[in-house]
Structure 1
């Protein structure tokens, strides 16, 4: 859970995240030291001992629960981070401005992004598929007049669920989006063609064999 700081001049070191053991009911770890509120936390979907979180201070952070230290910090979304998920080498984040970003954790490099009108409220991905949900802040939109509640005429108030399949265009050579296709022979440090399901450890082992 995210815990707000209190007291004069934030004497306790800023806002934090406290992790509790369900088996013992006791505090297992405390991480973070931020002036902003923690808005989203993902511990279930990531690697063991790594916690991914987002903050109102616009940053996505990854903490190692064994040491309590931050292992990654990305300046991600100018209206605050609203959804996060990570795995061994990449992060996917969503923001209040409607932007979804895929990041390479070790290089802190953005690999891909997509924008929709409403804030990102949900993110889920696997090796080749990304699902996002953008939900508007306004839950009861009105029509042209105060008595008009016909939502069919006002699509701008509706949320959007998007499914991105990064294996779909793997054979299209001139598409900027196929980040699943790469042979890693390019010397460029910034490359869109980085696979969602290819950790660097496996690639390094393959290149030296």
Structure 2
């Protein structure tokens, strides 16, 4: 099973350096100089890390041996760097990977079906479940304990207790918008 290590972002400078949207909890190991990473799409790689650096604000930049100028780096924007999962990736305490969640049914705490997990977005503050609702709308559910009550991969479900208005099927009522004295 392939895991996304990073997504290649915009080029930085003229020598092929690119910013990475890191998706691994072990970037020092995964993005070490000399590592060869497979890509999605496959025809963009494999790519060899020739240089890597982390800025004081935590941004990760690399130069790949196969892309040593800005033009080559621009062609890599949006490419996913992937690795085959291994034993080190199996620690359940580290959270969930998108491939483990995609396709799971999303259930409201009261038992109503709300949709299906389409993706897991990893954002700086917290992860977000992208849920396709039965009517085709897309909801973004913060993957935090207060909202996502549990994931049961065996049963194929994610149980949530979302605030009103997060899902199209559960809109905020007009009276919910009124203040305590009935005024908006």
Q: What TM-score range do you get, normalising by the shorter chain?
A: under 0.3
> Would you tell me which structure has more helix in proportion to its own residues?
2
Q: Normalised by the size of structure 1, how large is the TM-score?
A: 0.25
Q: Normalised by the size of structure 2, how large is the TM-score?
A: 0.28
